[in-house]
C-alpha cells in the first residue's frame, strides 16, 4: 500500500541537495580539520552564525547580531533553552489558541499555565483578545513570563501575523512588562514574493524579543541546525543553563558552506516544489469537499488546516484514512488545552507531488464517510 504522509513538518525530500552537500562537506572538513578536536562552545560555529545573520538581512534588510546568535540542535533545543530560562512552575504564558505541539509539550513539562489567545487563520493572534487576557491577568496580579508566537506561516494554521498586530503586540509586551518569543521556523518558505511583514525582532525597540529560527524546514530536520538570537541580559541568562558543549561544528560548517553559495537558488527551487504540492492539495480539496469543509490557502510554510463539520466522527476518519495509507495530524494536538477540535492539519511538502491527488482524494472520501446521519440526511434533501 502507498504511504501518503501528510504528517510532520518536513521539507521536500525530492529537492534535497545531496550532491551540493557532498561538496560542502569536503569544503567544511578541509576548513575545520584538526579544529574539530575542540568543543564548539556555547554559541557554536561562527560561520553558521554569520550565515544566519546574512539570511535575516536578505529578508529583513538588517543583519542579526552575530555575537548574540547561538547555534542549537534544531530550534527545538533553542525552545527548550529559552522557555526553560524564563518559565518557572506555575508561571503564565500566552500563545495562539492553536500552536506547535512541541512548544506546548515543553510548556506543559515546565508546568506553565498556558493561556490560549483567539486568532484567525490569516492575520494570526487577535490583539484585542491578547489585551483582554493581559488585563485580566493584571487584575489577578499575574505578570506572564512570555508571549510565544510563530509570526510567519504559523504551525498549524499558516497564519501570518500582520504588521499592525506585530506593532500592537510589541506595545502590549512593553505595557504589561513581558517578553516575546518569536519562533520564525517557517520564515523563507514563501510561494509568493515577500509576503511576510518585518519580524518582531527587527521592530523591537525595548529589548523584549527573543528570535528563534532553524534550517530544518528549508533544508532538512536531520541536519539538526537551529538558533536563537537574544540581546543581553537575555543571551547570558539563556546560556547560564546550557551544558552541552555546543552544537556539532561539523554539521554547522557543512550547512554554512552549502548556504553561502546556494541560499537563493535553493529557496527558489524548493519553494517552487513545495508551492506546487500545496496547490495540488488545494485543487483536490476544491474538487471533492467544497461545501462540506473549509480550509486555508497557504501562501507559504508547510501546513494546510482543515475545519471539518461538527458531524465528523474523528476516530472513524482516522481509521478510514489510515486504511488507505493517508496520515495527517489531529487538530487537538495543537490546541493549547488539548480540546477535542474538529480540525486536522496537513503537511504537504513530504509526499511526491504526483501522489497528492490520489492521497487527498482518499482523505476526502474518508471525510465524507465519517459524517454522522444528520449530514447524510441534509445532503439528501
Ligand X SMILES: Cc1ncc(COP(=O)(O)O)c(C=O)c1O
Interacting residues toward ligand X by CB under 6 A? 9, 74-76, 79, 100, 102, 150, 155, 183, 185, 214, 216, 221, 226
Helix (H, G, I), strand (E, B) or coil at 381: coil
First to last CA, the chain: 37
User: For residue 38, is it left (φ>0), alpha (ψ between -120 and 50) or beta?
Assistant: beta
Residue number with CB closer to ligand X (29 or 263): 263
**List of residues 6+ apart from 343 with CB closer than 8 A:** 305, 306, 307, 308, 331
Is 185 or 343 the residue whose CB approaches ligand X more closely? 185
CB of 192 to ligand X, least distance (A): 21
In the complex, residue closest to ligand X by CB: 74
CB closer to ligand X out of 199 and 216? 216
Q: In the bound complex, what is the minimum distance in angstroms from residue 93's beta carbon to ligand X? A: 15
Q: Shortest gap between Cβ of 226 and ligand X (angstroms)?
A: 4
CA distances from 57 to 51, 60, 101, 112, 254 (A): 10, 5, 29, 34, 21
Nearer to ligand X by Cβ, of 299 and 324: the residue is 299
Shortest separation between residue 148's beta carbon and ligand X, angstroms:
9
Residues 289-319, buried b or exposed e (16+ Cβ, 10 A)?
beebbebbebbbbbbbbbbbbeebebeebbe
For residues 84 and 103, what is the distance between their CA atoms, to the nearest angstrom? 11
Minimal distance, residue 350 CB to ligand X, in Å = 12
Give least dist CB 100 to ligand X, A. 4
**Of the candidates 6, 26, 80, 1, the residue with the CA atom closest to the CA atom of residue 243:** 80
Distance in angstroms (rounded) separating the CA atoms of residues 284 and 286: 5
C-beta closer to ligand X: residue 53 or 73 = 73
- Choice between 119 and 289, CB closer to ligand X: 119
Q: Which is nearer to ligand X, 8 or 90 (CB)?
A: 8
Strand order in the sheet with 113-117: 69-72, 226-229, 209-214, 179-183, 146-149, 92-96, 113-117
What's the closest the beta carbon of residue 355 comes to ligand X, in angstroms?
Answer: 22
Amino acid at each position: 500500500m502507498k504511504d501518503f504522509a501528510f504528517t510532520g513538518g518536513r521539507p521536500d525530500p525530492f529537492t534535497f541537495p545531496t550532491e551540493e552537500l557532498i561538496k560542502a562537506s569536503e569544503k567544511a572538513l578541509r576548513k575545520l580539520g584538526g579544529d574539530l578536536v575542540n568543543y564548539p562552545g556555547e554559541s557554536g560555529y561562527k560561520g553558521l552564525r554569520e550565515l544566519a545573520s546574512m539570511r535575516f538581512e536578505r529578508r529583513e534588510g538588517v543583519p542579526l547580531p552575530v555575537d548574540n546568535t547561538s547555534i542549537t540542535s534544531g530550534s527545538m533545543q533553542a525552545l527548550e533553552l529559552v522557555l526553560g530560562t524564563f518559565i518557572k512552575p506555575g508561571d503564565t504564558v500566552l500563545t495562539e489558541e492553536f500552536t506547535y505541539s512541541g512548544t506546548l509539550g515543553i510548556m506543559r513539562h515546565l508546568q506553565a499555565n498556558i493561556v490560549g489567545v483567539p486568532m484567525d487563520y490569516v492575520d494570526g493572534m487577535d490583539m484585542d483578545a491578547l489585551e483582554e487576557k493581559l488585563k485580566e491577568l493584571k487584575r489577578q496580579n499575574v505578570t506572564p513570563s512570555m508571549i510565544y508566537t510563530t509570526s510567519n506561516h504559523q504551525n498549524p494554521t499558516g497564519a501570518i501575523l500582520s504588521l499592525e498586530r506585530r506593532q500592537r503586540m510589541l506595545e502590549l509586551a512593553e505595557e504589561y512588562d513581558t517578553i516575546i518569543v518569536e519562533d520564525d521556523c517557517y520564515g523563507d518558505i514563501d510561494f509568493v514574493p515577500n509576503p511576510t511583514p518585518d519580524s518582531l525582532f527587527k521592530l523591537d525597540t525595548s529589548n523584549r524579543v527573543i528570535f528563534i529560527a532553524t534550517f530544518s524546514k528549508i533544508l532538512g530536520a536531520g541536519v539538526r541546525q537551529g538558533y536563537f538570537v537574544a540581546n543581553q541580559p537575555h543571551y547570558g541568562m539563556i546560556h547560564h543553563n546550557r551544558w552541552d558543549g555546543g552544537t556539532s561544528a561539523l554539521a554547522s560548517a557543512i550547512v554554512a558552506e552549502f548556504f553561502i553559495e546556494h541560499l537563493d537558488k535553493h529557496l527558489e527551487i524548493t519553494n517552487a516544489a513545495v508551492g506546487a504540492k500545496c496547490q495540488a492539495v488545494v485543487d483536490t480539496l476544491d474538487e471533492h469537499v467544497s461545501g462540506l469543509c473549509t480550509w486555508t490557502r497557504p501562501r507559504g510554510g508547510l501546513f494546510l488546516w482543515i475545519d471539518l463539520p461538527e458531524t465528523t466522527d474523528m476516530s472513524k476518519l482516522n481509521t478510514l484514512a489510515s486504511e488507505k495509507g493517508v496520515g495527517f495530524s489531529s487538530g487537538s494536538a495543537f490546541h493549547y488545552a488539548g480540546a477535542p477540535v474538529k480540525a486536522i492539519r496537513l503537511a504537504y511538502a513530504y509526499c511526491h507531488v504526483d501522489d497528492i491527488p490520489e492521497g487527498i482524494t482518499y482523505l476526502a472520501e474518508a471525510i465524507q464517510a465519517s459524517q454522522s446521519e444528520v449530514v447524510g440526511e441534509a445532503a439528501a434533501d
